[in-house]
Amino acid sequence: MLSGQEVKSVKLGHASLAGSYAKIQNGQAVLINATIKPYPYASGLENYEPTRSRKLLLHKNQILKLETRLSEKGLNLIPLEIYAKKGLVKLLLSVGKSKKKIDKRESIKRRELKKTIERATKKNLIN
């Protein structure tokens, strides 16, 4: 549930999902820690909180389905994308498993190795 100025701000592209997540609380889906900048032409911006928790409007059967999926160990509800379509603001959610520390190290090693290979091939192509 967004206020009018938040909808206008999302339509302008002033929303960020970095560091945000969603959870099911009291039978309702809630988006937590998503940042929506204030609409620049709105009045009453003194009390506006850009990272407030926002209720997600979902059908009851969608919430129940997500709740059963999230009951498994290690699964989280992650917002992937926020966009405006036909005057409505849509949020794309995904259920995912968080990486362990060892997995993160492996992916960092792979990324670094890929960068060094690309640098080496660029040098060989230039020389």
Phi, psi of 121, deg, nearest 5: -70, -35
Query: Could you tell me the fold of the domain covering 4-98?
Result: Small Protein B; Chain: A; (2.40.280)
11's tokens = 């339509």
> Which residue ranges make up each domain of the chain?
4-98
Distance CA 24, CA 40 (A): 32
Neighbours of 10 (CB within 10 A): 21
Using CA atoms, how far apart are residues 69 and 47, in angstroms rounded to an integer?
A: 36
pLDDT at 46: 75
Residue 63, pLDDT score:
92
- The amino acid present at 41, given as its one-letter code, is Y
* Predicted confidence pLDDT, tens digits, the chain (127 residues): 877 888 888 888 888 888 888 989 898 999 999 888 888 888 776 777 888 888 999 999 999 999 888 887 778 888 999 888 888 888 899 888 776 777 778 888 889 999 998 888 887 776 6
